[in-house]
Structure 1
Amino acid sequence: MAITFLQPAGLVRSPAFSHVAVVPAGATTVYLGGQNGVDETGALVAPDVGAQASRALDNAEVALTAAGASLDDVVQWFVAIDDTADLGAAYGAIGPRLAREGAPPLVTASRVSGLGVPGALIEISAIAAVLA
């Protein structure tokens, strides 16, 4: 039993993301709420998107672990980046940790005019599936 990630013919092929994921019956689904680049007190870790992105992913990993999942169990990532932030710096900070050879997860990214946490430049959420 495995999650199948597909890059169908007729759609752009990318080593960074897949287009479709099929999760088999019996898997436990884990929904990760939006994580920002804040410390355990809720304070932003830095004013730059690279540092915030790295911390947001660290926070995502902590939350997933608490639910019995890991970054490798993520089926789809959702990344919202403030439209004033450097997209290259954001993905440069998190891209290597999100990558998976051969079967990359699905990724949905959006540029937004602002996030719920004042000063936040990135928010990361996800859906994971843990196989039994």
Structure 2
Amino acid sequence: MEITLAQPAGLVVSPAFSHVAVIPPQATTILIGGQNGVDETGTLVSTDAAEQSLRAVQNARTALESAGAGLDDVVSWTIYIHQDADLRAAYGAVASMLARDGVPPLVSAALVAGLGVPGALIEVSAVAAVIRE
């Protein structure tokens, strides 16, 4: 059995996202809570959307690795981008890091009026799945 990401016929085909993830019963599901562009002390790394995005995904990677997973194991990302952020810079900085073996994961994104961390321009959360041998 394997984890499958799909773009079914009848739905738009996008290089940025898939529509369906099928996770078999023997997989371990790992949930990563919202990560911002902050360092280990909780300080924002920059006021730049691209730099915050990179750090937020790096923080998600650190959280995934603590559970025995990696970015390639993510099947679904949720991305919140502050409405005042440069959307292309924020998403463009990390888009290639979100793909799983070249196949795009599920992605939900929203522009928001604010985030929990003052000054944060992006927050990402993830669902990963790993088949343990």
- TM-score, with structure 2 as normaliser: 0.96
Per the TM alignment, residue 103 of structure 1 is displaced from its structure 2 partner at its CA by: 2.6
Question: What is the aligned partner in structure 1 of residue 18 from structure 2?
Answer: 18
Is there any run of 5+ residues in structure 2 with no aligned partner, and where?
Answer: none
Question: What is the aligned partner in structure 2 of residue 8 from structure 1?
Answer: 8
Is there any run of 5+ residues in structure 1 with no aligned partner, and where?
Answer: none
Q: Which stretches of structure 1, 4 residues or more, deviate above 6 A after TM superposition?
A: none
Cα RMSD, aligned residues only: 1.0
d(CA) in 1 for partners of 2:116 and 2:88? Answer: 22
Letter in structure 2 aligned against 1:34: G
Question: What is the aligned partner in structure 1 of residue 60 from structure 2?
Answer: 60
Q: Report 1:60-99 matches (<5 A).
A: 60-99=60-99
Which digits, 9 at most, give the CA deviation of each residue in 1:38-77, with x for residues without a partner?
A: 0000000000110000000010000000011100000100
Would you say the 8 A contact 2:46–2:52 is kept in 1?
yes
- TM-score, with structure 1 as normaliser: 0.97
Number of equivalent positions? 132
Name the % identity: 64
Per the TM alignment, residue 100 of structure 1 is displaced from its structure 2 partner at its CA by: 3.6
